């Protein structure tokens, strides 16, 4: 096991290139199962989740290759000899269940273990299964494995989601591309990653309208073809470095970002007294004055993203005054609060709200990354804390950040990777 050693850093300065979006590339890789023809995906970050998804596709019979220098992955799913996933890869990440829709609609059957991932709350697949059932599939759950079957193929139907689930929207949308007739997804998720998946599917020959709104319409096709696609930049990684500039009083230029995907983060950073500026080279984020306390509530897009909540808690912990953060998406996403308290943060949890009284400074100590975004939040807190902080269980961080310590060091951070003793 490895850990990160982080020491208090001066204000971070410089330029950082934002990688491709984890939450966009994973469903896009799953969508490659929809066609017999080769697909080429570019701007693919070298994340553990990405490599595990590639292994999962190979289990089904697909051929994959990854070029780290060009960040390009090639997938050919000409022959799908297996429609059942082994427990190892499927249980390692939530996105593994995104293979269900493509397998079910192309092969008329699929079997996947209930997915794993970060322990941030209940994320059942019932909405996925509801959509498949409406479209004509049957399913059963035995020994933790969901078995799906649609012997006569899927049929386009009206599917209303009780909650705008990103994963369910993506899975049903992919399944609908080869279904007979028209599928309408109501109360659909509208995240940028949904739109990126829809763009890729359209390049494959799918007919999709309404992505980015709460109603998506998919006209089923007889077959899809191969395509080449460049993945959008990661808005959460971008938000992480934006928050790093704010917490250290730095000045960072972010390259390869989509400003329109960052509107809620920019708004809340502005309330905190951080400045943002669009330049010809990218998005500049800097802070020169004192931080101000905030109130925020996580919501489905275009609301404030739940994936940024932990990072803003780190920011609030060193901001004079009282900040209130309310989590509405996941019920168990305050586990990082206890780790921040070990560093001296004054945080009280009241149901789904966290009340943070800013302290003058945090103190470095040994902490544990409880999930992906919590790990990133601990890094930011450590940059602003007196002394040295040891962060363990960093495999969580590697699921969603490509070379984060290298990028931070290039900005002036004092951060090193070390073997756990």
Q: Please report, for residues 123, 217, 410, the alpha-carbon distance to residue 281 in angstroms, rounded to integers and kept in the order given.
A: 38, 36, 18
Indicate the pairing of strand 215-219 with strand 207-209. Answer: antiparallel
Confirm whether residue 94 is marked as ligand binding.
yes
Backbone angles phi, psi at 37, to 5 degrees: -90, 155
Confirm whether residue 22 is marked as ligand binding.
yes
Catalytic residue among 32, 39, 76, 118: 118
Confirm whether residue 152 is marked as ligand binding.
no
Q: Are 132 and 175 in contact (CB under 8 A)?
A: yes
Q: Are 381 and 312 in contact (CB under 8 A)?
A: no
CA-based diameter of the chain, in Å? Answer: 65
* 252 DSSP β-pair partners: 14, 285
Active site includes 118? yes
Confirm whether residue 123 is marked as ligand binding.
yes
Q: Are 103 and 83 in contact (CB under 8 A)?
A: yes
Q: What 3-state DSSP class applies to 153?
A: coil
The DSSP letter of residue 224 is: -
If phi > 0 it is left, if psi is from -120 to 50 it is alpha, else beta; for residue 266 that is alpha
Helix-then-strand count for the chain, H and E: 14, 23
* Tokens 């940024």, residue located: 308
Confirm whether residue 125 is marked as ligand binding.
yes
Confirm whether residue 126 is marked as ligand binding.
yes
Confirm whether residue 127 is marked as ligand binding.
yes
Q: Are 43 and 402 in contact (CB under 8 A)?
A: no
Indicate the pairing of strand 182-186 with strand 145-149. Answer: unpaired
Backbone angles phi, psi at 34, to 5 degrees: -75, -15
Indicate the pairing of strand 228-230 with strand 39-42. Answer: parallel
Q: How many residues make up the chain in this entry?
A: 421
Residues acting as catalytic residues: 118
Q: Residues annotated as binding site for UDP-N-acetyl-alpha-D-glucosamine?
A: 94, 123-127, 307, 329
Q: Residues annotated as binding site for phosphoenolpyruvate?
A: 22-23
Q: Residues annotated as binding site?
A: 22-23, 94, 123-127, 307, 329
């Amino acid at each position: 096991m490895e850990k990160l050693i982080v020491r208090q850093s001066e204000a971070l300065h410089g330029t950082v290139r934002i990688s491709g979006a984890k939450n966009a590339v994973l469903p896009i890789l799953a969508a490659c199962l929809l066609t017999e023809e080769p697909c080429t995906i570019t701007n693919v970050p070298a994340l553990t989740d990405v490599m595990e998804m590639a292994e999962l596709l190979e289990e089904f019979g697909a051929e994959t290759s990854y070029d780290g220098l060009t960040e390009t992955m090639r997938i050919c799913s000409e022959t799908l000899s297996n429609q059942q996933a082994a427990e190892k890869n499927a249980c390692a990440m939530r996105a593994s269940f995104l293979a269900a829709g493509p397998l079910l609609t192309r092969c008329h059957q699929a079997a996947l273990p209930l997915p794993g991932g970060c322990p941030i709350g209940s994320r059942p697949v019932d909405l996925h299964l509801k959509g498949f059932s409406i479209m004509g599939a049957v399913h059963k759950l035995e020994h933790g494995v969901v078995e799906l079957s649609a012997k006569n193929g899927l049929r386009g139907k009206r599917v209303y989601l009780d909650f705008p689930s990103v994963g369910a929207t993506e899975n049903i949308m992919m399944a609908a591309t080869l279904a007979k007739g028209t599928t309408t997804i109501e109360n659909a998720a509208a995240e940028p990653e949904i739109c990126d998946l829809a763009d890729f599917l359209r390049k494959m020959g799918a007919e999709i309208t309404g992505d980015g709104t709460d109603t998506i319409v998919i006209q089923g096709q007889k077959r899809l073809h191969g395509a080449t696609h460049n993945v959008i930049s990661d808005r959460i990684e971008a938000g992480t470095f934006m928050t790093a500039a704010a917490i250290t009083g730095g000045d960072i230029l972010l390259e390869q970002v989509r400003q329109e995907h960052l509107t809620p983060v920019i708004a809340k950073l502005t309330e905190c007294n951080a400045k943002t500026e669009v330049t010809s080279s990218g998005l500049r984020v800097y802070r020169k004055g004192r931080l101000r306390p905030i109130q925020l509530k996580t919501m489905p897009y275009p609301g404030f993203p739940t994936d940024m909540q932990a990072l803003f808690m780190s920011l609030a912990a060193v901001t004079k005054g009282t900040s209130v953060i309310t989590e509405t998406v996941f019920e168990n996403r305050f586990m990082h609060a206890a780790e921040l308290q070990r560093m001296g943060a004054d945080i009280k949890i009241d149901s789904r709200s966290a009340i943070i009284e800013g302290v003058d400074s945090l103190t470095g100590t040994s902490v544990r990354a409880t999930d992906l975004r919590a790990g990133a939040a601990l890094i930011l807190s450590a940059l602003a804390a007196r002394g040295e902080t040891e962060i363990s269980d960093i495999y969580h961080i590697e699921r969603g950040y490509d070379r984060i310590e290298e990028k931070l060091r290039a900005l002036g951070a004092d951060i090193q990777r070390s073997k756990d003793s």
